[in-house]
Amino acid sequence: MSTNTVGGPTVEQKRKVVTSIPGPKSLEMQKRRIEVVSAGVSSTLPVYVKRAGGGIVEDIDGNSFIDLASGIAVTSVGNSHPDVVKNVQEAVAQFTHTCFMIAPYESYVRVCELLAELTPGKHPKRSALFNSGAEALENAVKIARYFTKKDAIVVVEHGYHGRTNLTMAMTAKNMPYKKGFGPFAPEIYRVPTSYPFHDELSGKEAALHAISRMEKEIGADQLAAIVIEPIQGEGGFIVPAPGFLTELANWAKANNVLFIADEVQTGFARTGAMFASEHENVVPDLITMAKGMGGGLPVAAVTGRADVMDAIHPGGLGGTYGGNPIALAGALGAIQAIQNEKLIEKAKHIESIMIPRLKNMSSQNQLIGDVRGRGAMIAIEIVKPGTKDPDPDKTLKIVKACHAEGVLVLTAGTYGNVLRFLPPLVISDELLNEGLDVLEKAIISAS
Ligand SMILES: Cc1ncc(COP(=O)(O)O)c(C=O)c1O
């Protein structure tokens, strides 16, 4: 039986369901949890993890799940990838923290060198490192406002940018992200996006709608930046129609508005390119990233034009933990693994397996309204047969059936009717296909 690569935990690469889900030990843990963990923090699949690696997550009851989630697009190189483990072990034995703002260290500089090389565009770039995606977004907005001396920020329908006060304002969906948590930060404006399955517009037509709103309702002279995910993540893996991003980026350039690509979910090989902006040949002024960057460790970044990033006064950017050396050791390991193991190619390979299989399922089952995505960021939209109306109940039924059979899948979408798949890029074809077999049965039984 195959196991994952050497180093880290050796996890048998086999789906195994030996108890009801959740199993008895997880249910015991759940009892302890509800006494001490806020009810506001929920878990999609309340099985407690013992170890994970390759394409498998193993729980404390001995169940092994095929991982089609990667901890929401984080463990793209697989859990406890040997390069990540080795780097982190070495780093933690050297020093745990000095604070880069107090006494700096090489790994911060090295990561920024790599970000300058790996992000789109050949222009001079600078980076600043943070702890989470939302923190990167907060800082990108600070930087854009400072540089342009303008206040307004544009985001799009279905956008997701985090859960801090500013990023909640930037996030579209009310439940569960915003309800009751306001008032929200001001000067955030939402314009139409490109959602080909629903709007049936070309990229250019959709962009003209957004541009008209920006010009008429905000004014380019008030607008600091457009912040957009090149493929929308939590909003439902919405791939914009070709040309949409380019039109927006060109308009931004012509109007002294910064174009900020939020690549927190799409970055680091996930979509079959190092960054999803590359699919449209868009070179953003600033890029925010996190998730897949750290190979499971919390690290985030803003990378962008040197003139924009260097405009900030010394001390204007930072934070106690931003660019923590242990997290950066993880990032260096993850980037090395992406390059050495050709994980961009692997993401394309995953797409080449998933899209035809899902399209085939869609041709046989009217519950699947749309199949979309790039690389290993793929989704299906579940609808009421013969319509484009969302069916969140059926979506949940399918998810639950997959979980009960040992396949970890997630939902997304403003209407909760998108099933999204984010397998680790190191998953075997065998496990991926087995996961899709389970999904297919779950869809048939939900119909
Ligand atoms: C596109 C995007 N931006 C920002 C965030 C927020 O990142 P974090 O949860 O690390 O704060 C996410 C998280 O899902 C995301 O997908």
Exposed/middle/buried for 31, CB within 10 Å: 0-12, 13-18, 19+? exposed
In the predicted model, what is the mean pLDDT of the chain? Answer: 97
Structure token pair of residue 441: 């049965």
Name which of 431, 340, 262, 287 is nearest 84 in CA terms.
340
Torsion of CA 37, 42, 43, 44, to 10 degrees: 170
Per-residue pLDDT tens digits for 73-132: 999 999 999 999 999 999 999 999 999 999 999 999 999 999 999 999 999 999 999 999
Q: Which two tokens stand for residue 440?
A: 């297919």
Cα maximum dimension of the chain = 62
Ligand 1 atom at shortest distance from the alpha carbon of 298: 10
In tens, the pLDDT along 373-422 reads: 999 999 999 999 999 999 999 999 999 999 999 999 999 999 999 999 99
Residue 1 has pLDDT above 70, yes or no: no
Q: For the residues of 367-386, what is the DSSP string, one character each? A: TEEEEEEETTEEEEEEB-TT
| Residue pLDDT, tens place only, 163-211 | 999 999 999 999 999 999 999 999 999 999 999 999 999 999 999 999 9
The predicted structure's pLDDT at residue 10: 82
**Each residue of 223-276: pLDDT tens digit?**
999 999 999 999 999 999 999 999 999 999 999 999 999 999 999 999 999 999
What is the model's pLDDT at position 35? 98
pLDDT at 7: 47
pLDDT exceeds cutoff 60 at 317: yes
Given a contact cutoff of 8 angstroms between Cβ atoms, the answer to whether 226 and 192 are in contact is no
Among 76, 153, 264, residue to substitute to test ligand 1 (most atoms within 8 Å of Cβ): 264
Handedness of CA 28, 30, 34, 38 (dihedral sign): positive
309 pLDDT more than 80: yes
pLDDT band at 3 (very low <50, low <70, confident <90, very high): low
Task: Order across the sheet with 377-382: list the strands.
Answer: 368-374, 377-382, 418-421, 410-412
Q: Is pLDDT at 2 greater than 80 in this prediction? A: no
* Edge-first strand listing for the sheet containing 64-67: 49-53, 56-59, 64-67, 407-408
pTM above the 0.85 mark? Answer: yes
The SS3 assignment for 48 reads coil
Band of residue 6 on the pLDDT scale cut at 50, 70, 90: very low
Structure tokens at 147: 């540089």
Joined tokens for residue 373? 């995505």
**pLDDT tens-place string over residues 357-374:** 999 999 999 999 999 999
Question: Which atom number of ligand 1 is nearest to the Cα of residue 162?
Answer: 6
Give the Å distance between the CA of 304 and the centre of ligand 1.
18
Could you tell me the pLDDT band of residue 8, with boundaries at 50, 70 and 90? low
Q: Among 309, 265, 268, which residue's Cα sits nearest to residue 127?
A: 309
For the Cβ of 233 lying below 6 angstroms from any atom of ligand 1, the answer is yes
3-class secondary structure, 260: strand
> What residue owns the CA closest to ligand 1's atom 13?
162
CB-ligand 1 contact for 160 (6 Å cutoff): yes
**Does position 442 have pLDDT exceeding 90, yes or no?**
yes
The whole-angstrom separation of Cα 195 and Cα 184 is 26
